[in-house]
Copies of this chain bind each other. A is one copy, B any other.
Amino acid sequence: MADADLKTTGNTQPSQLQAADYEYLATYQPSNYERPSVTVDIVILTVSDQDLKVLLVKRNVPPYQGLWAVPGGFVGMQESLDKAARRELLEETGVANVYLEQLYTFGEPGRDPRTRVITVAYFALVEASQVKTLRAGSDAGEVAWWSIYKLPELAFDHGQILDYTLQRLRGKLGYSNIAFQLLPEKFTLTELQRVYEVILGEKLDKRNFRKGLSIRELNRSSESSKTYMLEELPETRPGGNYGPTKLFRFIDRVERIIG
C-alpha cells in the first residue's frame, strides 16, 4: 500500500490560472450547442402530528396540471446549486438557516415532457414551528404538507425523488445527528424518540433508545472532559394529566447549515 495513514487527498481547487489560460479565455466564446435546463427541486421535510411530512405544491399549469409536485425552480447563471436550493426553500416556506443536503441528480431525457430538464434534488429538514407562511410559486396553486407515507399522485419523477429521500434519511439516522434538525431548541426525550420512530417507520424501545444517547446530566457536571451530545436543562415541561418531563438541548448546534 502506498501510504497507510493517509485519510483523504486533501486537494483543493487551484486558484491560479496559467498564462496560456488567459490567452485562451480572451478568445473563448460560449458555444452554440444546445444545452439542457437545470433546476433544483427541494424535498422539504418536517415532523408534526407524529408523522413525517413533505411540502408539496399543486401544479396549476401543464404539464401534470392538477398533480402535486416537490417545489423547485431554475438555477440562476451566477448562482451555486446550494444557493439556488436555499432560495427556493426561502421562497416556499420563509425559512432560512436550516439543514439542507444535496440528494441526487435526476436527468432522464423525457422526465419533463416539455424539454430536457436535469434536476438536482435537495432535501431540507425544518422544524414545524419555524414555518409560518406557505407561499406558492408562480406555476403552483395550493401548498400543503403531506404525510410521506400517504402521498397524492405526483408529477414528473417526484415519487422516485421522495423514495430516494426517505432512503437517505433513514440511512443517515444511524450515524449522524440529523434528527435534531427536526426538533426545536428544547425538547423531551420522548419527542426525540418519536422523530426516530416516524422516520424509521417502527417503534423503538424506550430504555434502549435512551441508553444510546450521551447525556450531560444536571448535577454531576464534574466530568467536563467527555464530549456529550445532549444536555439536560434545569427546566421541565408540565405534562398534561401526568407528571412533568425533563427538557433537553442538543449541545453542538453548529453544522446546521451547508453551502
Check if B4 sits within 8 Å of A201, measured CB to CB.
yes
Q: List 27 A-B contacts (CB under 8 A).
A: A1-B50, A1-B194, A1-B201, A2-B50, A2-B51, A2-B52, A3-B150, A5-B201, A5-B202, A7-B201, A9-B149, A10-B159, A11-B158, A13-B157, A14-B154, A14-B155, A25-B62, A30-B114, A35-B37, A36-B77, A38-B38, A78-B109, A80-B108, A80-B109, A105-B105, A105-B120, A118-B120
Question: Which residues of B sit under 8 angstroms from A153, Cβ to Cβ?
Answer: 14
Per-residue CB contact flags for chain A residues 47-69 toward chain B (1 = under 8 Å, else 0) read 00011100000000111111100
- Which residues between 159 and 180 of chain A lie within 8 Å of chain B, taking CB atoms? 159-160, 162-163, 166-167
A135 to nearest B CB, angstroms? 23
Check if A4 sits within 8 Å of B108, measured CB to CB.
no
SS of A interface (majority): loop
A149 CB contact (under 8 Å) in B3, B108, B109: B3
Question: Which residues of B sit under 8 angstroms from A167, Cβ to Cβ?
Answer: 8
Instruction: Answer whether residue A131 sits at the interface, using C-beta atoms and an 8 A cutoff.
Output: no
Instruction: Answer whether residue A21 sits at the interface, using C-beta atoms and an 8 A cutoff.
Output: yes
Identical chains in the assembly? 2
Check if A36 sits within 8 Å of B38, measured CB to CB.
yes
Complex-state Cα separation, A4 to B50, whole angstroms: 11
Instruction: Answer whether residue A107 sits at the interface, using C-beta atoms and an 8 A cutoff.
Output: yes
Q: Count of chain A residues with Cβ under 8 Å from any Cβ of B?
A: 82
Instruction: Answer whether residue A102 sits at the interface, using C-beta atoms and an 8 A cutoff.
Output: yes
Question: Which residues of B sit under 8 angstroms from A109, Cβ to Cβ?
Answer: 77-80
Instruction: Answer whether residue A113 sits at the interface, using C-beta atoms and an 8 A cutoff.
Output: yes
Interface residues of A (CB under 8 A from B): 1-14, 17-18, 20-21, 23-25, 28, 30, 33-38, 50-52, 61-67, 74-75, 77-81, 102, 104-105, 107-109, 111, 113-116, 118, 120, 147-151, 153-160, 162-163, 166-167, 194, 197-198, 201-203
Nearest residue (CB) in B for A10 is: B163
Check if A63 sits within 8 Å of B25, measured CB to CB.
yes
A162 CB contact (under 8 Å) in B1, B11, B37, B61: B11
Question: Which residues of B sit under 8 angstroms from A115, Cβ to Cβ?
Answer: 28, 30
